[in-house]
Structure 1
Amino acid sequence: MKFISWNVNGLRAVLKKNFLEVFTALDAEFFCLQETKLQAGQVALDLPNYYQYWNYAQKKGYSGTAIFTKKKPLTVSKGLGITEFDQEGRVLTLEYEDFYLVNCYTPNSQDKLKRLDFRLQWEAAFSDYLTDLASQKPIILCGDLNVAHNEIDLKNPKPNQKNAGFSIQERQAMTALLARGFTDTFRHFYPDKTGAYSWWSYRFNARSRNAGWRIDYFICSNALLPQVKDSQLLPEILGSDHCPILLETDELN
């Protein structure tokens, strides 16, 4: 089975570029989007054989997540069940017999870490949410988690140590989450691979120089690892400042 995750940085924008061609070519059972930046009714996608699920932010043109899937879920839930965190359309969860699929767009700590306190409160609540789900059945978490976990995960670690996405607090939160029984699947398969990034600034020709960050993830419950076959970044696919990422697994129900 194939899972794709992609921060499209505005679905309406990427629809004018190459989204439908990429979507068709990848032919995934699950296609998860972050930062859709739209409200209900603003796009009508004709995706034969796919169920469509959306979680919109209350603020127009901001945040938002979606999942398009060939497999109808048992249940669908939006958010964490906490009002202060559920106004920005950041979490979408599908339940299946064998697993939960959680699509997430983690809040950015912003310039000078001005939203770091909110981010860390989010991290604690989200970690509890995932742990609760995982106590029922294994999970697959994907999305833009807005953190480069280790120095290998970004081109220029030293000058970014106090910047959003690479602060010690955010990195510690990721370490703490993984310690709860989860695995970063890309690093599971490619522990020492350098130059592997999923996001590049639009400034300074960052993408052409591959001066990027790996902030998009497939994370799974440790119990699912034997059924995970590969985890890849797809930097050759353009259209957003992020590239899609791929998870391949055995058949799951």
Structure 2
Amino acid sequence: MTHMKFISWNVNGLRAIVKKDFLTTFNTLDADFFCIQETKMQPNQLTLDLPGYQQFFNSADRKGYSGTAIFTKHTPQNVTYDIGTDEFDHEGRVITLEYPDFYLVTCYTPNSGTGLKRLDFRMGWEQVFQDYLDSLNASKPVILCGDLNVAHEEIDIRNPKTNHHNAGFTNEEREQFSQLLSRGYTDTFRYFNPDATDRYSWWSYRFNARDRNAGWRIDYFVTSNRLQDHLVEADIKDQIFGSDHCPILLTTKDLHV
């Protein structure tokens, strides 16, 4: 039985976190696939020495903003960037790797912003991105990971009552995540931990939020339902520091690369 480990982490600036303990953490986790969001860099701004890994970057047109990366031990059959709609394809938000048994998609979902000024953009993104996932899923199962910028249910946020109109916990965003799952996908952390409380992946830098564990669960591994028999473990690595997010983990079995 072959197990594979997937890690996803919004690092809030790859160049910044590399100056901390990123490489130690990276080597300790020893993942087959290490997916990163919010790289905040162009590929020529950093050279990472990661023996045994292939590196794929998708950077925003705007420097120091957004961006994604995947580091993998397994050579993909195909690599694509973005989601094929010009309105949404300038911020480096998606990378897709194709393997014999699945697609791996890392995503940094647009934040609706202060005062929800980008909520309309976000809602447009949701429709196009979910259709994109379905187009992949029609061919082979999907493993989606990343900072999806939504706490799905009240159990996924420390202070639900005071956040209902804040970006990441609006009814509109939460309904979009419900809609995604209804299309045939599994929130893997909830699959293994349906009732777990106080498990978060992001904490504001303000008000000592992480010390108080006043967090949000907005980072996910979401998989096609038909991969459920291949799921071994999903976890949140909340003892790992270096960003305002922590890494999340998915372990699978018997998938061919």
Which of the five TM-score ranges fits, normalised by the shorter chain? over 0.9
**Partner Cα distance (1:201, 1:144) in 2:** 14
**Partner Cα distance (2:230, 2:176) in 1:** 26
User: 2:135 is matched with which residue?
Assistant: 132
**Partner Cα distance (1:175, 1:131) in 2:** 15
User: 1:144 is matched with which residue?
Assistant: 147
**Partner Cα distance (1:131, 1:81) in 2:** 14
User: 2:43 is matched with which residue?
Assistant: 40
User: 2:247 is matched with which residue?
Assistant: 244
Answer yes or no: is 1:88 the counterpart of 2:64.
no
User: Residues 41-83 of structure 1: CA distance to partner in whole angstroms, max 9, x if unpaired?
Assistant: 1000111110100101000000000000000000000000111
Taking structure 1 as the reference length, the TM-score comes to 0.99
Counterparts of residues 97-176 of structure 1 (less than 5 Å): 97-176=100-179
> AA paired with 1:212?
G
Taking structure 2 as the reference length, the TM-score comes to 0.98
User: 1:219 is matched with which residue?
Assistant: 222
Q: Secondary structure, in 3 states, of the residue corresponding to 2:76?
A: coil
Q: State the shift of 1:209 in Å.
A: 0.2
User: 2:76 is matched with which residue?
Assistant: 73
**Partner Cα distance (2:255, 2:39) in 1:** 27
> AA paired with 1:124?
Q
Q: State the shift of 1:152 in Å.
A: 0.2
Q: State the shift of 1:40 in Å.
A: 2.0
Aligned residue pair count: 253
User: 1:185 is matched with which residue?
Assistant: 188
User: 1:58 is matched with which residue?
Assistant: 61
Q: CA RMSD in A?
A: 0.4
Answer yes or no: is 1:22 the counterpart of 2:30.
no
**Partner Cα distance (1:223, 1:171) in 2:** 23
**Partner Cα distance (1:220, 1:236) in 2:** 24
Which runs of structure 1 show a deviation greater than 4 angstroms over 4 or more consecutive aligned residues?
none
Identity of aligned residues (%): 64
What is the aligned counterpart of 1:205 among 199, 204, 208? Answer: 208
> AA paired with 1:155?
R
**Partner Cα distance (1:164, 1:41) in 2:** 32
Q: State the shift of 1:150 in Å.
A: 0.2
Contiguous gaps of at least 5 residues in structure 1: none
**Partner Cα distance (1:112, 1:51) in 2:** 39
Q: State the shift of 1:112 in Å.
A: 1.2
Answer yes or no: is 1:232 the counterpart of 2:235.
yes
> AA paired with 2:13?
G
**Partner Cα distance (1:135, 1:40) in 2:** 32
